[in-house]
Amino acid sequence: MTKPVIALLGTGYMGAPMARNLLKGGYVLKVWNRSLDKAEPLAQDGAEVFGKAKSAVQDADIVITMLTDGAAVEEVLFTYDAAGMLKTGAMVIDMSSIKPAQAREHAAKLEAMGHKHLDAPVSGGTKGAEDGTLAIMVGGDKGDFEAAKPVLACMGRAVHVGPHGAGQLAKLANQAIVGTTIGVVAEALLLAKQGGADPDAIRDALKGGFADSIILQQHGGRMTSGNFEPGALSKIQLKDLNNILEEAGHLDLTLPLAEHMQARYSRLVDELEGGGKDHSGIYLELKDRNGL
């Protein structure tokens, strides 16, 4: 069995380390990025660098997209018409975080053209991308998932979570939990601090118990040290919460905590800090609300 030829579109802060892990996995890799300078360094890792997305995908069996949002994916696939250059039966694995509805639409368009599609957004940040330990949430046909598994395994742990769009739904579920957990960790630590307890000791005391999480330890640590350098931006957390509520709206669902946190992050971003701080900055919003 020969290995599939892969094209990776989008070699930014996530895509570049993912590309390196695919090269380490022994795949022939063609890369493209909107600003070419971010793709060029990958030549010395063995990638073939292209100035146009259409050219990069021409002989590829698998096309991986790792772009900013749904509009960027739409543009590259259908406006620049990378999709039109694909070999029949090629598979597009979209690892960008986009709206579930967009992922379903892309899948339908590609299928109509005779191609396959998986939505496969990730969690784990640049560290996960570098270490090849990303959580990869995959929506689409189960058989396509099985076929893509060896490729995905170079980049992290892939789990099939349902049909087209389900990977993006899982990512939204992830972001709902992250944003709200940050919110309640802020309350717990502020309560402790105002009551005279030591918030760092409390994080230590809670370690390994029911209240423990990466959020409590990492984001909670940022709150007690007062260091809100990102990390993940509060304005991205707000965008995620907006997408969660939009998808909930499509499904006629009320999600009261997501609504509450959307209002809180709106206030943080629009009235307090402009969106450039880490999402653990909701601690600042809580303090402000309490006149502290």
As annotated, the active-site residues are 171
Q: Which is nearer to a second copy, 113 or 184 (CB)?
A: 184
- Please, which of residues 93-122 interact with a second copy by CB under 8 A? 100
State the nearest-atom distance from the C-beta of 64 to a second copy, in Å. Answer: 18
State the nearest-atom distance from the C-beta of 228 to a second copy, in Å. Answer: 17
Q: Which is nearer to a second copy, 33 or 168 (CB)?
A: 168
* Nearest one of 216, 186, 191 to 204, comparing CA atoms: 216
Q: By CB under 8 A, is residue 14 in contact with a second copy?
A: no
Instruction: Report residue 232 as tokens.
Output: 């993940």
Q: Which is nearer to a second copy, 37 or 252 (CB)?
A: 252
State the nearest-atom distance from the C-beta of 27 to a second copy, in Å. Answer: 23
- Please, which of residues 39-58 interact with a second copy by CB under 8 A? none
Q: How far is CA 192 from CA 14, 144, 187, 228, in A?
A: 37, 50, 8, 20
Q: How far is CA 81 from CA 56, 63, 73, 96, in A?
A: 12, 13, 11, 18
* Single-letter code of the amino acid located at 71: A
* Nearest one of 66, 85, 62 to 148, comparing CA atoms: 62
Instruction: Report residue 24 as tokens.
Output: 């380490």
Query: How many chain residues interact with a second copy (CB under 8 A)?
Result: 73
**The tokens 């979570």 sit on which residue?**
161
Count how many residues are written for the chain: 292
Q: Which is nearer to a second copy, 60 or 169 (CB)?
A: 169
State the nearest-atom distance from the C-beta of 185 to a second copy, in Å. Answer: 6
State the nearest-atom distance from the C-beta of 174 to a second copy, in Å. Answer: 4
- Please, which of residues 265-284 interact with a second copy by CB under 8 A? none
Dihedrals phi, psi of 203, to nearest 5 degrees: -60, -40
State the nearest-atom distance from the C-beta of 70 to a second copy, in Å. Answer: 16
C-alpha to C-alpha distance for 54 and 276, rounded to whole angstroms: 34
* Nearest one of 100, 66, 107 to 83, comparing CA atoms: 107
Among 72, 135, 147, 153, binds a second copy (CB under 8 A): 135
Among 2, 35, 88, 290, binds a second copy (CB under 8 A): 290
- Please, which of residues 227-256 interact with a second copy by CB under 8 A? 244, 247-248, 251-256
C-alpha to C-alpha distance for 185 and 167, rounded to whole angstroms: 27
123 neighbors 137 (Cβ within 8 angstroms): yes
Q: Which is nearer to a second copy, 15 or 128 (CB)?
A: 128
Helix axes 256-267, 166-194, angle to 10 degrees: 70
- Please, which of residues 153-212 interact with a second copy by CB under 8 A? 157, 159-163, 165-166, 169-170, 172-178, 180-181, 183-185, 187-192, 194-198, 201-202, 204-212
Q: Which is nearer to a second copy, 79 or 126 (CB)?
A: 126
